[in-house]
Amino acid sequence: MTCRVMLMVSSMRGGGSERQTLLLLQKIDRDKLTPHLYLIDRDGDLLDQVPNDVPIHSFDEVSRGGELYFPGRRLRQQTNHVGKVIDEQAIDVVYDRTFHMTMVAGPACMARNIPRVSTIVSPPDHALPLVESRFVGLKRRRLAKAYRQSRSVIAVSQQAADSAEHYYGLPTGRVQVFPNPVDAEATRQQASLSQVSRDERLTIVCVGRMTPEKGHIDLIRGLHLCEQNWPDNLPAIRIWLVGDGPLRGELQTFWQQHSRGIHTLDFLGARNAAPYIQSADALLLPSLFEGMPNVVLEAMALKTPVIATRAGGTIELERSEPTIQWLEPGNPNSVANSIREFALDRHSANQRVTAAFRLIQQSHDVGQLTRKVEATLLQV
């Protein structure tokens, strides 16, 4: 019999963790592992891409009407439901990804002596207070306990691993680093699914959910600064913003109030980003922190130049040779300067593209990294 593994993530709405979970579901060796998927919300554009042989279990399909609210009730309900699924499906090992899924999986697996592999996707000292805005101290203690109980803890970057060991008080070396992989061939196929029209303007794409940590306001302020002193000999800038989120209305209002009409900012909403990354002159990532940004890996696979903040795991996507044009997080002036530098020196960008493509082939191959995760699941 193969080992029955249950991968846990909140939804399939298209974020980095959801895409990495989907990759594992698609690539796991069925001769060794039988994958199941557990979701809090059975929702998201990526649901249709989950392989047909993967059973999907979700908390939102459980009827819970008429119960009184008290703090922690929903978490307890989710934990009980996870335990029920583990029992009914005879799950051998659980793979929980993201803070919330670790808090849910921890007590459910501990009560049944089911081994877990936990994955940390962002530096928790930055991410946890932002993602879990209530009862942060309590959740920090629960997560520390859950990670200590995990048979193996993985982080997507060394930055995230170091942060987790310090923030949760874990022993040095407790957290292994498995960098996010990218399926270069699948990314190219996604990019070819639709044609994106563009003109002679210098076109930059920014992909990400519109939340504070993604730094969209710094990008927009930087573009506004570019309008104040833009050389006549350079083409106008057009920026595509791919993604949605709670800050979209605020960001649109800010641009409408401050734009001088020299450059263009297009709010495109949530959609398949790959065709836009491939068609753009560059990808710009203004995040305040990152674990290991999938969108940068995808840009590198598509040979699109990358401009990004020197933040979190993004730093680890440059090693012995330049792969990224850097800017400083939370700094609109740095954004403006980076856009000008890119417009003035496209030759250097081409050199970085070649080095970036070589890096993902050597260190972020989906086959090699899937085998490492498989081996860890089987070992525990």
User: CA 52, CA 41: separation in Å to the nearest integer?
Assistant: 18
291 phi/psi in degrees, rounded to 5 = -85, -70
- Residues 157 and 201 reside in one and the same domain: no
Domain hosting residue 115, numbered range: 3-181+365-379
Q: Is 262 helix (H, G, I), strand (E, B) or coil?
A: coil
Instruction: Look at residue 378 in the predicted model and tell me its pLDDT.
Output: 96
- Residues 56 and 34 reside in one and the same domain: yes
Instruction: Look at residue 1 in the predicted model and tell me its pLDDT.
Output: 77
Mean pLDDT of 318-323: 94
Q: Is 229 helix (H, G, I), strand (E, B) or coil?
A: coil
Domain count, the chain: 2
- Residues 109 and 245 reside in one and the same domain: no
The predicted-structure confidence for 93-107, as pLDDT tens digits, reads as follows: 999 999 999 999 999
- Residues 131 and 169 reside in one and the same domain: yes
pLDDT interval class at 71 (50, 70, 90): low
User: CA 209, CA 189: separation in Å to the nearest integer?
Assistant: 23
- Residues 135 and 230 reside in one and the same domain: no
Q: Residue 72: is its pLDDT beyond 80?
A: no
CATH of residue 38's domain is 3.40.50.2000
- Residues 33 and 49 reside in one and the same domain: yes
- Residues 201 and 92 reside in one and the same domain: no
Taking alpha carbons only, the member of 134, 125, 74 closest to residue 104 is 74
The predicted-structure confidence for 104-118, as pLDDT tens digits, reads as follows: 999 999 999 999 999
- Residues 258 and 283 reside in one and the same domain: yes
- Residues 219 and 273 reside in one and the same domain: yes
- Residues 336 and 193 reside in one and the same domain: yes
Q: Answer yes or no: are the C-beta atoms of 97 and 18 closer than 8 Å.
A: no
- Residues 174 and 221 reside in one and the same domain: no
- Residues 204 and 97 reside in one and the same domain: no
